[in-house]
């Protein structure tokens, strides 16, 4: 998968920008606050309909403008398609080949991206809700059905919580209705759990191997934390969780919310079975997240038979010289990689076989002279 053309209208600090990506690797160089990250952000938004910076959509619209538009030409398995997202005060609209798409589940996965940025350390430092949001975005790129499951679960979660409040207020319960809610709630919870566990299992297949290639050390793994107990038999897993839900009923009723389910899931990265955020150095934490992202690449290959686009936002400033070289050499040759940096000296460009360099200055982007 590659992005061949990108057009921005009223996006962040860009009035009207058009870029053609003619090489496998592209570097955008410029001082801070010139618009480099905005370019990567626009590609991410084009693919996933939301920013990796976790900001309000209205902030993506250039000041004093009524809308922002991102258009991209995507090449996937030699098939070209055009994607578009329009953002205004009312919300957003997405199009594929000029045809509006009503369901995001039919749009997401048309452009698959993995973002690397210094902000990624928040993945471990922020709340479980932040990590679940990241997890949902990544899995949604892989499985179109996952978005529907999440929407269905959020609907039944809201219904169950509302009914718990009704029971508490009226001090009476329709057990048949509660059983129907609980049955659907339990099944959707188990289905979401299975998608998430499958994702983490695939991450762990390569995580320690990749970490050793970048740092020289192994023993890295990701631990999935859930109140659903795994079982090879889905029916047994459902029955066990349904029973747990019933056993927890009085507690749920006391707090008037559902205490168990995938909306309480979390994960952590461990090095030698210890939480790397608590026991690892700052460098180990940053490298573990970079490795986690790299471990996602073969998942896209195996499930979708495509390679995602890699977006590297100024991550080389966080690494020493040796790790920079290892990271660049670790980038797959067949994957489009788009990089931002404030200093080209941080990157050994001789390690890239196919490279364009753009200079970004106050929202102006131009190809560096001397590019092949």
Q: Taking the C-alpha atoms of 97, 44, 49 and 263 in order, what is their torsion angle to the nearest 10 degrees?
A: 140
Q: In this model, does residue 311 exceed pLDDT 70?
A: yes
Q: What are the structural domain ranges in the chain? A: 1-112+306-372, 129-305
DSSP 368: P
**What mean pLDDT do residues 162-178 have?**
95
Is residue 161 predicted with pLDDT exceeding 60? yes
For residue 372, what pLDDT band results from cuts at 50, 70 and 90?
A: low
SS3 label, residue 232: coil
Please indicate whether residue 319 or residue 290 has the higher confidence score (pLDDT).
290
> In this structure, are residues 142 and 303 in contact, taking their beta carbons and an 8 Å threshold?
yes
Per-residue model confidence as pLDDT tens digits over 52-66: 987 888 899 999 999
Q: Is 143 exposed, middle or buried (0-12, 13-18, 19+ CB in 10 A)?
A: middle
Residue 97 has pLDDT above 60, yes or no: yes
Residue (of 173, 180, 188) closest to 253 by Cα position:
173
What CATH architecture applies to the domain 129-305?
Answer: Up-down Bundle (1.20)
Q: What gap in Å lies between CA 362 and CA 345, rounded to an integer?
A: 21
Using 50, 70 and 90 to split pLDDT, how confident is the model at 119? confident
Kindly state the average pLDDT of the residues 188-200. 97
Q: What is the largest CA-CA distance in the chain?
A: 77
Measure the CA–CA gap between 21 and 33, rounded to whole angstroms.
Answer: 22
The fold for domain 1-112+306-372 equals Rossmann fold (3.40.50)
How confident is the model at residue 371, as a pLDDT?
63
Note the residue count of the chain.
372
pLDDT score recorded for residue 310? 95
Residues 56, 196, 327: CA angle, nearest 5 degrees: 75
Mean pLDDT over each residue of the chain, to the nearest integer: 93
CA-to-CA distance for 106 and 148, rounded, in angstroms?
Answer: 10
CB-based contact 108:140 (threshold 8 Å) = yes
Average of per-residue pLDDT across 348-372? 86
């Amino acid at each position: 998968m590659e992005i061949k053309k990108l057009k921005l209208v009223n996006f962040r600090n860009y009035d009207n920008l058009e870029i053609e990506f003619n090489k496998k690797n592209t570097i955008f160089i410029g001082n801070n606050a010139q618009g480099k990250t905005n370019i990567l952000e626009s590609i991410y938004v084009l693919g996933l309909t939301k920013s990796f910076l976790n900001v309000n959509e209205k902030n993506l619209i250039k000041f004093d403008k009524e809308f922002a538009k991102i258009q991209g030409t995507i090449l996937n398995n030699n098939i070209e398609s055009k994607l578009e997202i329009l953002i205004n005060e009312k919300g957003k609209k997405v199009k594929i080949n000029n045809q509006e798409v009503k369901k995001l589940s039919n749009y997401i996965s048309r452009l698959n991206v993995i973002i690397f940025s210094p902000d990624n350390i928040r993945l471990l430092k922020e709340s479980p809700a932040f990590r679940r949001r990241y997890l949902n975005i990544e899995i949604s790129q892989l499985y179109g059905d996952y978005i529907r499951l999440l929407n269905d679960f959020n609907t039944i979660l809201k219904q169950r919580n509302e009914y718990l409040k009704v029971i508490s207020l009226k001090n009476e319960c329709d057990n048949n209705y509660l059983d129907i809610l609980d049955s659907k709630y339990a099944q959707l919870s188990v289905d979401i759990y299975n998608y998430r566990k499958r994702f983490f299992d695939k991450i762990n297949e390569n995580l320690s191997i990749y970490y050793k290639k970048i740092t020289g050390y192994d023993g890295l793994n990701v631990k999935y934390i859930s109140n659903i107990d795994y079982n090879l038999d889905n029916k047994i897993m459902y029955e066990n969780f349904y029973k747990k839900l019933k056993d927890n009923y009085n507690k749920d009723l006391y707090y008037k919310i559902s205490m168990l389910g995938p909306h309480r899931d979390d994960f952590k990265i461990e090095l030698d079975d210890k939480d790397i955020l608590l026991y690892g150095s700052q460098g180990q934490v940053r490298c573990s997240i970079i490795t986690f992202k790299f471990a996602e690449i073969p998942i896209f290959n195996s499930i979708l038979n495509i390679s995602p686009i890699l977006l590297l936002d100024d991550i080389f400033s966080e690494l020493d010289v040796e790790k920079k070289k290892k990271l660049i050499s670790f980038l797959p040759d067949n994957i489009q990689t788009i990089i931002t940096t404030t200093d080209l000296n941080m990157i050994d460009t001789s390690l890239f076989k196919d490279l364009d360099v753009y200079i970004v200055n106050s929202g102006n982007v131009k190809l560096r002279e001397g590019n092949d």
